[in-house]
């Protein structure tokens, strides 16, 4: 560390720091300089009182610190290793410069008259610019920044005791090692005036750099080298012409639509047009540095411009999407059927494109479709990027890059941004760095920054993660391009996140039909007169003589004529479905193309091999003795075939899918062990602390990541989004997210509402993501009982009043439904359920109400013969062994049982309780049948009718453990009625309800009340008299 850092070390503190390998180490870190400055761009309210805490309260130039420095120096002279490396460097260099060791100690000037105090002052002045220079930078194109007088005092040389007479004195700035000298251009001596000029130019121009919060000196030095040296600053004429061309495209695109589609919402980019040349420079630079794929997520603002000018989505198509009468995709290309879903508004759609770069590389770009919910797409992009890295074997994560575009309001306001940043360095979620670009137009709809955030910049959250932030004046296209390139270089170099904050403005309202002066009159007075970034750039290039007016006119005419041509073509444009479908999914069926039902049973030999592999702990792993016992028990289950429990069934599903070549990934809070201590997918050696994952060794040479089980950060929204993005890249993977308890999934509600339940319908993108939501009433209170099953069922798009086609060879019911909701009750059924996700030619989200006490229930066991594909084994039917959508009564009833007086339909673990109640005492009820609806959605009409036929005289009862206004009751009712009506068996009135009453809370918090409720409804289910409710 060099002398720039040395000043920071004076008031060091010990700080417990997390290192990414999981070990905790103590390290001395640079204290974050207290900065009271609030730079909140644009406010229409009066300036708030500034609290100036920038006093020299703890400067090391005061006497105490001078004494301290002298003490340090004395120690150093006695023994250079007695001081921190940075001080060693500092003194070494001062002395080296002076050639006279000891002079400095005596306070005699170095470099002629330069004293130690002056050296330190100079050092602090430079450092002040590095830390706070951005506050003085010219970042706001509108100059509305009302806090200009809040510039920190330490940027004033007088603050450091320099006087005007010092300006032309020469000072020694340093040329040593790799940490400095950048500013001085390796000139050892400079006048204070030229040092100040360099500082102003570097840190207070149109770019404001924030990087001094990064606690890694090598990264800071790398950035300093980029920022403080001159050679990175200038573009040549050719590059300028390219920037001009790109800016013309960006600007004219918006102008064109403003004229042609005056009254249409498009969330134009006007005021922030430099985003387009910036993105293109960034992508070009990234491609030069080895990036091959970029996954982009972005909100509404400027999305059409990005689609047209960066992604090269055909302009005719973009224009045609404005046409409300356009016939999109009505012709059938025979590949995916004519399924169109509901579609979505034009500024939510995704696309992908292979783009040649300016320097002859090719880069594949994908823009992910996203909902209106701002920032919700962030972790979806990360997940997709991570999946690409896995499939491309991009181990150092340099070929696949995630880029997120944000708005200033949403970046500061949405919590998922924080969750996103928190995934950035986690081993199983890291994507090697995301580039964030904030289109900071200084307003969010009608809300000023002062009302929208409490931080100085909208990007401040990123500082918590050692992320460098480049603020840039959006009117300066070259500055924008420069920081965009620098961001790409940073990401490729350090594999870490970086933020570019383009400070611009919004020329018109939030959308094109909004009047912005209602709420931002002052800002819009200024905007009215403000030239566009294109006008500013053209003027600059004309004045410098680098382009002529004719050249500029030629470019404009060319762009305008292409836009007109494409607009004319848009009238006849017919959307092809391949415009939306992703290439990796070739051969997968749309909801309207029949996919045959497949056997999910496994060859017994394979099953046995997998079973042995995943229950074997190598001798060298010293597992915890209880865990060892669990594994020994599992091994016995495999060998005997008896008593296979939930955890082993799950592991067998994973293992068999792996040996069939599929990737399996399970993520969520504490999933490695399992919330209920049941999974133990990762073993922890009790002596070496090494981890061992048996499922990572199902076959020789299995690649490490092929089976991934990973504890996640304590996030639902972010992590679920990540896994969903992951699942969308390649269909040949079982990707699962497990909630700690099912109700925590409501923290991820946006993901369920906007992506999972509706994604296929809106965007024609499938996902087979499995969501495990532990659910069940066992007296643990309102927060741990219910996964809110009712919500998932309510979001099902299956029409309840008409029986769908249920004939096995024609059945598309499951393909036509938006998702599956299942509450399985046997390990074997769970095994087949998971395998079914992969063994089909389409993908559907699967919501599983997963068990808690069934994990260890003595009756919730399966036999290995239920997992295999051997004819004659239990579960083997005409189609082989498969997931059972409904499990019939287990009492060996024949096809018609006239003596059964009640048929109880139920779902989930309540079955075991009902069954136990039925068998109690001497009055065991052999005239009651209990059937389990394992798959609630889509509803198994055919199997329910089969059971209704089996019990022609039975009263039909729906029994659930959830309160009446929750659980499956209101979903089941119309569907069961439809099934009954269809066979002349009655309707709603004939469906009786047994369960808890309506309730606001999901469950009681009193265990005794729980037990009482439970026994009451179980007894009611078995009562001799007919059920009278409702």
Ligand X SMILES: Cc1ncc(C[n+]2csc(CCOP(=O)(O)OP(=O)(O)O)c2C)c(N)n1
Within 428-487, the residues that bind Mg ion by CB under 5 A are 441, 444
Supply the minimum distance, in Å, between the C-beta of residue 810 and Mg ion: 52
Residues ≥6 apart with Cβ < 8 Å to 937: 792, 793, 796, 798, 817, 819, 820, 821, 822, 971
Residue nearest to ligand X (CB): 407
Q: How far apart are CA 53 and CA 157, in angstroms?
A: 18
Long-range CB contact pairs, 258-266, < 8 A, 24+:
258/512, 260/319, 260/567, 261/322, 262/512, 263/512, 263/513, 264/322, 264/512, 265/347, 265/511, 265/512, 265/513, 266/304, 266/322, 266/346, 266/347, 266/511, 266/512
Q: How far apart are CA 354 and CA 367, in angstroms?
A: 12
Residues ≥6 apart with Cβ < 8 Å to 144: 41, 42, 43, 442, 522, 523, 526
Query: Of 302 and 731, which CB lies nearer to Mg ion in the complex structure?
Result: 302
Closest CA to 412 of 469, 461, 474: 461
E-assigned strand segments in 237-361: 293-297, 351-356
Residue 868 contacts Mg ion per CB under 5 A: no
Within 64-103, the residues that bind Mg ion by CB under 5 A are none
Closest CA to 422 of 412, 408, 434, 413: 434
Residue 754 contacts ligand X per CB under 6 A: no
Supply the minimum distance, in Å, between the C-beta of residue 150 and Mg ion: 22
Point out which span in 105-113, 442-450, 565-573, 766-774 binds ligand X (CB under 6 A). Answer: 442-450
The length of the chain is 1030
682 binds, among ligand X, Mg ion, none (CB under 5 to 8 A by kind): none
Query: Of 408 and 738, which CB lies nearer to Mg ion in the complex structure?
Result: 408
Point out which span in 367-375, 409-417, 598-606, 884-892 binds Mg ion (CB under 5 A). Answer: 409-417
Residue 199 contacts ligand X per CB under 6 A: no
Contact residue for ligand X among 1, 296, 444, 904 (CB under 6 A): 444
Supply the minimum distance, in Å, between the C-beta of residue 691 and ligand X: 38
Supply the minimum distance, in Å, between the C-beta of residue 449 and Mg ion: 9
Helices (H), 371-473: 378-391, 408-413, 415-423, 449-452
374 binds, among Mg ion, ligand X, none (CB under 5 to 8 A by kind): ligand X
Query: Of 269 and 430, which CB lies nearer to ligand X in the complex structure?
Result: 269
- Residue that the structure tokens 């224009």 belong to: 319
Residue 408 contacts ligand X per CB under 6 A: yes
Supply the minimum distance, in Å, between the C-beta of residue 144 and ligand X: 15
Question: For 216-227, b where at least 16 C-beta lie within 10 A, e where not — what string?
Answer: ebebbbbbbebb
Residue 408 contacts Mg ion per CB under 5 A: yes
Q: How far apart are CA 494 and CA 485, in angstroms?
A: 14
Compute the half-sphere exposure of residue 668: CA atoms within 13 Å on the CB side of its CA: 26
For 445, the enclosing helix (H) or strand (E) is: none
Residue 603 contacts ligand X per CB under 6 A: no
Phi-psi region of 781 (alpha: psi -120 to 50; beta: other; left: phi over 0): left
Residue 485 contacts ligand X per CB under 6 A: no
Size of the site for Mg ion (CB under 5 A): 5
Supply the minimum distance, in Å, between the C-beta of residue 205 and Mg ion: 24
Residue 301 contacts ligand X per CB under 6 A: yes
Residue 152 contacts Mg ion per CB under 5 A: no
- Longest pairwise C-alpha distance within the chain: 112
Residue 407 contacts Mg ion per CB under 5 A: yes
Q: Are 191 and 167 in contact (CB under 8 A)?
A: yes
Residue 790 contacts Mg ion per CB under 5 A: no
445 binds, among ligand X, Mg ion, none (CB under 5 to 8 A by kind): ligand X
Supply the minimum distance, in Å, between the C-beta of residue 446 and ligand X: 9
Residue 501 contacts Mg ion per CB under 5 A: no
Q: Contact letters (x/-) for ligand X, 364-383, by CB under 6 A? A: --------xxx---------
Q: Contact letters (x/-) for ligand X, 510-539, by CB under 6 A? A: x-----------------------------
Query: Of 368 and 503, which CB lies nearer to Mg ion in the complex structure?
Result: 503
Supply the minimum distance, in Å, between the C-beta of residue 269 and Mg ion: 12
- Residue that the structure tokens 């109640």 belong to: 917
Residue 407 contacts ligand X per CB under 6 A: yes
- How many CB atoms are located within 10 Å of the residue 731 CB? 22
Kindly give the pairing relationship between strand 955-963 and strand 991-996. Answer: parallel
301 binds, among ligand X, Mg ion, none (CB under 5 to 8 A by kind): ligand X
- Residue that the structure tokens 């070990």 belong to: 23
Taking the CA atoms of 323, 328, 330 and 331 in sequence, report the sign of the dihedral they define.
positive
Supply the minimum distance, in Å, between the C-beta of residue 143 and Mg ion: 18
Point out which span in 154-162, 395-403, 436-444, 1006-1014 binds ligand X (CB under 6 A). Answer: 436-444
Closest CA to 501 of 417, 429, 599, 407: 407
372 binds, among Mg ion, ligand X, none (CB under 5 to 8 A by kind): ligand X
Contact residue for ligand X among 192, 443, 739, 789 (CB under 6 A): 443
Interior CA angle at 191 toward 190 and 197, to 5°? 95
Supply the minimum distance, in Å, between the C-beta of residue 532 and Mg ion: 18
- How many CB atoms are located within 10 Å of the residue 319 CB? 25
410 binds, among Mg ion, ligand X, none (CB under 5 to 8 A by kind): ligand X
Q: Are 930 and 954 in contact (CB under 8 A)?
A: no
Query: Of 444 and 637, which CB lies nearer to Mg ion in the complex structure?
Result: 444
Residue 344 contacts ligand X per CB under 6 A: no
Instruction: Classify residue 133 by its DSSP letter.
Output: H
Supply the minimum distance, in Å, between the C-beta of residue 426 and ligand X: 24
Residue 409 contacts ligand X per CB under 6 A: yes
Q: How far apart are CA 997 and CA 1013, in angstroms?
A: 9
Point out which span in 194-202, 323-331, 435-443, 924-932 binds ligand X (CB under 6 A). Answer: 435-443
Peptide bond into 859 cis (omega under 30): no
For 552, the enclosing helix (H) or strand (E) is: helix 549-570
Closest CA to 899 of 930, 926, 921, 932: 926
Point out which span in 406-414, 469-477, 722-730, 810-818 binds Mg ion (CB under 5 A). Answer: 406-414
Closest CA to 336 of 783, 764, 35: 764
Size of the site for ligand X (CB under 6 A): 15
Residue 441 contacts ligand X per CB under 6 A: yes
Query: Of 448 and 497, which CB lies nearer to ligand X in the complex structure?
Result: 448
Compute the half-sphere exposure of residue 141: CA atoms within 13 Å on the CB side of its CA: 30
Residue 453 contacts ligand X per CB under 6 A: no
Point out which span in 407-415, 565-573, 852-860, 903-911 binds ligand X (CB under 6 A). Answer: 407-415
Residue 445 contacts ligand X per CB under 6 A: yes
Supply the minimum distance, in Å, between the C-beta of residue 407 and ligand X: 2
Query: Of 208 and 407, which CB lies nearer to Mg ion in the complex structure?
Result: 407
Q: Are 742 and 672 in contact (CB under 8 A)?
A: no
Query: Of 258 and 627, which CB lies nearer to ligand X in the complex structure?
Result: 258
Query: Of 509 and 938, which CB lies nearer to ligand X in the complex structure?
Result: 509
Residue 451 contacts ligand X per CB under 6 A: no
Residue 516 contacts Mg ion per CB under 5 A: no
Residue 970 contacts ligand X per CB under 6 A: no
What backbone phi and psi angles, to 5 degrees, belong to 961?
A: -90, -15
Residue 275 contacts Mg ion per CB under 5 A: no
Residues that bind ligand X (CB under 6 A): 301, 372-374, 407-410, 439, 441, 443-445, 506, 510
Residues that bind Mg ion (CB under 5 A): 407-409, 441, 444
């Amino acid at each position: 560390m060099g002398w720039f850092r040395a000043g920071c070390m004076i008031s060091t503190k010990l700080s417990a720091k997390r290192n990414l390998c999981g070990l905790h180490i103590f390290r001395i870190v640079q204290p974050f300089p207290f900065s009271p400055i609030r730079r909140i761009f644009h406010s229409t309210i009066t300036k708030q009182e500034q609290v100036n805490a920038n006093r020299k309260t703890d400067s090391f130039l005061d006497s105490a610190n001078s004494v301290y420095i002298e003490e340090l120096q004395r120690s150093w002279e006695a023994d250079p290793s007695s001081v921190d490396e940075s001080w060693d460097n500092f003194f070494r260099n001062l002395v080296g410069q002076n050639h006279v060791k000891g002079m400095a100690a005596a306070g005699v000037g170095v470099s002629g008259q330069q004293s130690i105090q002056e050296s330190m002052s100079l050092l602090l002045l430079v450092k002040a610019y590095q830390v706070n220079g951005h506050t003085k930078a010219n970042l706001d194109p509108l100059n509305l920044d009302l806090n200009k007088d809040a510039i920190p005092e330490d940027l004033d040389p007088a603050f450091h005791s320099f006087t005007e007479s010092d300006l032309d004195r020469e000072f020694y700035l340093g040329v040593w090692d790799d940490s400095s000298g950048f500013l001085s251009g390796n000139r050892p001596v400079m006048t204070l005036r030229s040092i100040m000029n360099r500082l102003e130019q570097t840190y207070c121009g149109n770019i404001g750099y924030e990087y001094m919060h990064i606690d890694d000196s090598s990264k800071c030095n790398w950035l300093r080298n980029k920022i403080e040296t001159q050679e990175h600053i200038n573009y040549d004429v050719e590059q300028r012409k390219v920037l001009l061309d790109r800016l013309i495209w960006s600007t004219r695109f918006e102008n064109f639509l403003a004229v042609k589609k005056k009254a249409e919402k498009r969330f134009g980019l006007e005021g922030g047009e430099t985003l387009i040349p910036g993105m293109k420079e960034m992508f070009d630079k990234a491609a030069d540095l080895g990036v091959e794929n970029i996954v982009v997520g972005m909100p509404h603002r400027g999305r059409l411009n990005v689609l047209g000018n960066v992604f090269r989505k055909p302009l005719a198509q973009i224009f045609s999407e404005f046409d409300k009468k356009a016939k999109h995709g009505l012709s059938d290309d025979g590949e995916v059927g004519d399924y169109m879903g509901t579609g979505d508004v034009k500024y939510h759609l995704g696309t992908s494109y292979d783009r040649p770069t300016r320097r002859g590389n090719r880069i594949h770009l994908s823009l992910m479709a996203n909902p209106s919910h701002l920032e919700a797409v962030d972790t979806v992009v990360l997940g997709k990027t991570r999946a690409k890295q896995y499939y491309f074997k991009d181990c150092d994560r340099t070929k696949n890059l995630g880029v997120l575009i944000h708005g200033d309001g949403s970046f500061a306001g949405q919590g998922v941004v924080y969750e996103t940043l928190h995934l950035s360095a986690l081993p199983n979620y890291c994507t090697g760095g995301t580039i964030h670009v904030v289109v900071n137009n200084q307003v969010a709809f009608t809300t000023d920054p002062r009302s929208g955030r409490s931080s100085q910049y909208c990007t401040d959250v990123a500082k918590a993660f050692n992320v460098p932030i480049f603020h840039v004046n959006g009117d300066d296209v070259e500055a924008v391009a420069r920081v965009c390139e620098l961001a790409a270089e940073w990401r490729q170099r350090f594999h870490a996140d970086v933020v570019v904050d383009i400070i611009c403005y919004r020329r018109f309202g939030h959308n094109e039909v909004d009047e912005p002066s209602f709420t931002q009159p002052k800002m819009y007075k200024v905007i009215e007169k403000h030239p566009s970034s294109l006008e500013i750039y053209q003027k600059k290039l004309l004045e410098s003589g680098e382009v002529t007016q004719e050249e500029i006119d030629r470019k404009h005419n060319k762009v305008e004529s292409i836009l007109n041509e494409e607009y004319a073509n848009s009238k006849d444009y017919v959307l092809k479905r391949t415009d939306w479908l992703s290439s990796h999914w070739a051969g997968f069926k749309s909801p309207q193309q029949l996919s045959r039902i497949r056997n999910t049973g496994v060859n017994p030999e394979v099953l046995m091999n997998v079973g042995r592999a995943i229950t074997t702990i190598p001798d060298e792993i010293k597992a915890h003795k209880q865990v060892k016992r669990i594994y020994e028990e599992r091994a016995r289950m495999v060998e005997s075939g008896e008593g296979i429990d939930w955890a082993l069934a799950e592991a067998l599903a994973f293992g068999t899918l792996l040996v069939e070549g599929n990737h399996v990934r399970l993520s969520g809070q504490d999933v490695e062990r399992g919330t209920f201590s049941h999974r133990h997918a990762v073993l922890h050696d009790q002596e070496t602390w090494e981890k061992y994952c048996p499922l990572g060794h199902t076959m020789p040479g299995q690649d490490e990541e092929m089976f991934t089980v990973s504890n996640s950060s304590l996030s639902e929204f972010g992590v679920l989004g990540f896994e969903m993005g992951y699942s969308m890249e390649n269909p040949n993977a079982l990707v699962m997210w497990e909630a700690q308890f099912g109700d925590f999934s409501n923290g991820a509600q946006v993901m369920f509402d906007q992506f999972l339940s509706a994604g296929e319908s809106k965007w024609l993108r499938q996902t087979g993501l499995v969501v495990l939501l532990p659910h069940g009433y066992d007296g643990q209170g309102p927060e741990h009982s219910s996964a809110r099953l009712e919500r998932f069922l309510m979001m099902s798009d299956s029409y309840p009043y008409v029986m769908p086609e249920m004939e096995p060879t024609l059945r598309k019911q499951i393909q036509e439904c938006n998702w599956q909701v299942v509450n399985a009750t046997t390990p074997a059924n769970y095994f087949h359920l998971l395998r079914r996700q992969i063994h089909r030619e389409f993908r559907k989200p699967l919501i599983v109400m997963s068990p808690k006490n069934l994990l260890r229930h003595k009756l919730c066991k399966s036999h290995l013969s239920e997992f295999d594909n051997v004819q004659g084994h239990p579960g083997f039917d005409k189609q082989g062994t498969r997931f059972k959508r409904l499990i019939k009564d287990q009492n060996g009833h024949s096809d018609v049982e006239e003596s059964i007086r009640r048929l109880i339909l139920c779902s989930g673990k309540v079955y075991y309780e009902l069954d136990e109640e039925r068998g109690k005492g001497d009055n065991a009820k052999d005239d009651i049948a209990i059937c389990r609806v394992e798959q609630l959605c889509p509803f198994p009409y055919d199997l329910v009718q089969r059971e209704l036929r089996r019990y022609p005289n039975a009263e039909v009862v729906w029994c659930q453990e959830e309160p009446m206004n929750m659980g499956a009751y209101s979903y089941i009712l119309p569907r069961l009625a439809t099934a009954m009506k269809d066979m002349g068996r009655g309707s709603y009135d004939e469906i009786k309800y047994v369960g808890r009453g309506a309730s606001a809370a999901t469950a009681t918090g009193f265990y005794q009340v729980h037990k009482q409720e439970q026994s009451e409804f179980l007894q009611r289910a078995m009562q001799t008299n007919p059920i009278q409710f409702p």
